[in-house]
Amino acid sequence: MKREFVCIECPRGCDLTAETAQGGVIVAGNFCPRGKMYAEAEMTCPRRIVTSTVRAAHGMIPVKTGGEIRKEKIFEAMARIRALRVDRDVRQGEALSADIDGEGTPLIAAASYRNGER
Amino acid sequence: MKKQLVIIGGGPAGLAAAVAAYDAGVRDIAVIEREERAGGILKQCIHNGFGLTRFKESMTGPEYAQRFLDEVNARGIEIMTGTFVTGLGADKKVTCMNERGVFTLEAGAVILAMGCRERSKGALNIAGTRPAGLFSAGTAQKYVNIYGHLPGRRVVILGSGDIGLIMARRMTLEGAKVECVCEIMEHSGGLRRNIAQCLDDFGIPLYLEHTIVEIKGKERVESVVIAQVDKEKKPILGTEREIFCDTVLFSVGLIPENELTKGAGLALDPHTKGCFVDENRETDIPGVFACGNVLHVHDLVDFVSEEAEVAGRAAAAYLACGERERAYIPTEAGENVGYVLPQRAGKGKDVKLYFRVRSAFRNAVIRVEAGAAVKTYRRIAVAPGEMENVTVKAADLADAPSVRVSVVREA
């Protein structure tokens, strides 16, 4: 199977071609090693960082998954993120959930939050 | 009240400029921010991908902003939040207003870092009614990410700028159905990877050379009529299609916010929509500098920070040494180039030229002509949405009457 896609690793956006060959993936068009890894993952198990917000008592806290999650788990993770509620102080980098994708990826606060202060 | 350095705007440009000026020796600095918190638009840009160029890591907007806020706070630099600048004089008097009243800061130097605003739907002349459900993409982003309100359930996005693409994904993740993104040009103005990760990932169609010709609905948007456009960007009769939706987002460009700049009597470059600057980002008024999106709309915040640091250091040098007589050579946009910044470069040192191409193509050659010296640089691909830069050596500038940047296809 041969596929073409735009690399999302950085703003350069390389045009990648990837082809499955015996036992591996042949990647072309990548400027750097990250592009090769991205293309290989796209062919086998595409993964994404998901960013969203968590509802707190006095505003929204921006969050990100603490690593890439499997693409087909994105909406499952979103449902969990939407169900979360925060009513306490939060520090940037703190985990708001230990497992947001059902596979052990934590959900990380991308900003500090002071409860009671907008 | 006297202030050595007044920085107007506490977004990424203002914060980076403040840190750079402080580190270059300026201690009496005030950053004026109209919102309750500094950080600018990054506060609502919760997606990741910031900082790859500068920090070699992918950060969210709030994280990128916090990195600079921490630097500002560590130096004890004053940020006046909730304070609006109502006027700037050519004499560097900055009139401010906040809950304590109106006051004037007499600045030794000023850095303009007001950022940009979104072009509004009103600028587009779309026929139809004026129902609820029409938002600029950035306004929708604020509703969702800051206030936690989803502005609609069925969405059509006009314009494929980055904010529109980011919002297509964001609304989808929050449960809305994004019907399509219409782009009047033959290429998207957004980053290529954003088309991949924000549209392709979710099967959202991008219709190039399409626009909205009519918005229908009385109280709330009920549908839009889209149509293909011809080479003159006029809708082609017979290609109209009605798409049902309750929300339309407009991501149709950003315009530097230069009301204060104009008030100070500074002329604006019709191409960048910002003022004219030299390589130090000093404007036509000595001691007044500009950086970030108020100067020209950047694609990456990393470049905003870099530019702001140039302005910050230059402001410090101005405060230490005062005005200096300098020899400049003008920069020019050649074939396929929309603008070159800075518009003039001081002789005697290397200068980094930033520019945008007019159209997208692959295997491009950047040609920099400085008098007899011609240098070429290859690029795999160039696109209007992506800012390019090259550094020109001082030696090549020495006797040149001007520097001209053009971009051509590889022969």
Which among B275, B296, B324 is the end of a domain? B324
Bridge-based pairing state of the strands B373-382 and B351-357: unpaired
Same-domain status, B170 and B243: yes
Same-domain status, B124 and B247: yes
Q: Sign of the CA dihedral A58, A84, B11, B293?
A: negative
Q: Which chain B residues have a beta carbon less than 8 Å from that of A6?
A: 192-193, 195-196, 200
Residue ranges of chain A that CATH labels 3.10.530: 51-109
Same-domain status, B161 and B12: no
Same-domain status, B218 and B284: no
Region of B274 (left: φ > 0; alpha: ψ -120 to 50; beta: rest) is beta
Of A8 and B150, which is predicted with more confidence? B150
Classify domain A51-109 by CATH architecture: Roll (3.10)
Same-domain status, B50 and B105: yes
Same-domain status, B38 and B90: yes
Same-domain status, B248 and B258: no
Touching check for B237 and chain A: CB below 8 Å? Answer: no
Bridge-based pairing state of the strands B177-183 and B337-341: unpaired
Same-domain status, B132 and B161: yes
Alpha-carbon span B275 to B271, nearest angstrom = 10
pLDDT for the residue B68? 97
Question: How do residues A49-65 score in pLDDT, each as one tens digit?
Answer: 999 999 999 999 999 99
For chain B, the first-to-last Cα distance in angstroms comes to: 60
Cβ burial of B365 (10 Å; 0-12, 13-18, 19+) is middle
- Chain A 17-46, CB below 8 Å of chain B: which residues? 31
Alpha-carbon span A88 to A81, nearest angstrom = 17
pLDDT for the residue A1? 79
Question: How do residues B312-362 score in pLDDT, each as one tens digit?
Answer: 999 999 999 987 778 899 999 999 999 999 999 998 889 999 999 988 888
Give per-residue burial for A22-49: e unless 16+ CB within 10 Å, then b. eeebebebbeeeebbebbbbbbeeebbb
Which residue of B lies nearest to A42 if distances are taken between CA atoms?
B201
The count of CB pairs under 8 A between chains A and B is: 82
Touching check for B386 and chain A: CB below 8 Å? Answer: yes
Write out the residue range of the structural domain in which residue B295 sits. 1-118+254-324
Map A58-110 to HEC letters.
CEEEEEEECCCEEHHHHHHHHHHHHHCEECCCECCCCEEECCCCCCCCCEEEC
pLDDT for the residue B124? 66
Position B128 pLDDT exceeds 80: no
CA dihedral B378, B384, B387, B389 (to 10 degrees): 30
Same-domain status, B388 and B400: yes
Interface test with A, best of B173, B304, B387 (most A CBs within 10 A): B173
Question: How do residues B176-233 score in pLDDT, each as one tens digit?
Answer: 999 999 999 988 878 888 998 999 999 999 999 999 999 999 999 999 999 999 999 9
Q: Which of A11, A49, A74 sits opposite B52 (nearest CB)?
A: A11
Domain count, chain B: 3
Which domain CATH number covers B271? 3.50.50.60
Same-domain status, B114 and B258: yes
Same-domain status, B203 and B222: yes
Same-domain status, B318 and B333: no
Which among B232, B252, B272 is the end of a domain? B252
Which domain CATH number covers B336? 2.60.40
